[in-house]
Amino acid sequence: MTETERLSHPRLHQINVSDGGVPKRPVPEAMIAKAGVEGDRQRNLKVHGGPERAVCLFSRELLDRLQEEGHPIEAGSSGENLTLAGLEWSLIKPGVKLSIGQDVQLEVTSYTVPCSHNAQWFQDGDYHRISQKKNPGWSRVYAKVLRAGLVRPGDVVGIQS
């Protein structure tokens, strides 16, 4: 596959982890386990984590558009574990299954609800900019892990029917 072909396919742009809270910082690779991304921890387990919210996903293209609007948000800032590129984000909704790389399979379970910790990434502090209820199509999503495995930036992402 040529570099142009690789970049034109949906792919994993960045893997992000933290010891709790935001921002999450990039790592060169990670094991995705049933419990989530190894090396990542959530600050509030009442609203984050668990089998149905094991991995948080967001779109590189939406981040680019938010930056164009003047918001100081980066990949990982809002707490997503996997920043995906080249996907039609409107297709990524609860029930959709994704493959990442050779092994990993995820199923989107819900839209995330942004919290006040994300206000710092928005010029006006309005973290609802990434709320599915207030701005449909701009939300991060949670996914459960159907099949665990190792992922790296550049891994191909597929939507499974």
Q: Could you read off the pLDDT of 52-95 as tens digits, one per residue?
A: 999 999 999 999 999 999 999 999 999 999 999 999 999 999 99
Q: What is the pTM of this model?
A: 0.90
Going by C-alpha positions, the residue among 76, 111, 132, 92 that lies closest to residue 10 is 92
| Structural domain of 128 | 3-160
CATH number, position 79? 2.40.33.20
Q: What is the pLDDT of residue 34?
A: 95
Number of domains in the chain: 1
Q: What is the pLDDT of residue 159?
A: 96
**Any residues with CB less than 8 A from the CB of 124 and at least 6 apart, and which?**
none
107, 151 contact by CB (below 8 A)? no
d(Cα 64, Cα 68) in Å, to the nearest integer? 6
- pLDDT bin (cut points 50, 70, 90) of residue 48 is low
Q: Token pair for residue 142?
A: 């949670």
Q: What mean pLDDT comes out for the span 91-118?
A: 95
Q: Token pair for residue 22?
A: 């935001």
- pLDDT bin (cut points 50, 70, 90) of residue 116 is confident
Q: What mean pLDDT comes out for the span 105-111?
A: 98
